[in-house]
Structure 1
Amino acid sequence: MVLELRRGRLHIAVADASLAPLVRPVPNHSRTSGRGLDLVDVLADEWGVERIGPYGKAVWATIAVGG
């Protein structure tokens, strides 16, 4: 996990070693788990997924901080 402050924006990245593509479940408000990307989508200004060569992938998000 990486947290960086870049020009007034918090950049968050979380990586894993899986090469499997990210699969976002169909939204379902009754789910009690697997809602992490739903929260990221609501809270982040932007987010995405990047492949890290043969090492896996990283999900990243940016959030404006300050006034």
Structure 2
Amino acid sequence: MIISVELVGVDGVRQRREIANVKRSVDEARIDDYGLSLEEAKEIQLHLQKELTQFQADQAVQRDRK
């Protein structure tokens, strides 16, 4: 499962960025294989925060150049 976010810049251009790729075995799946573990959720949140922070910084620079 690929988790991605779509961001729209000040110029209206959409950007899709991959945040995480969660892999699960479908053979002999157990109850623990459903949903996200706490560690996976924390890692996804960390990647999302990094992407959003970088995107916002890039947008601010782009806006200031105009």
TM-score by length of 1: 0.28
Query: Relative to total residues, which structure has the larger strand share, 1 or 2?
Result: 1
TM-score between both structures, scaled by the size of structure 2: 0.28
> Which structure has the greater CA radius of gyration?
2
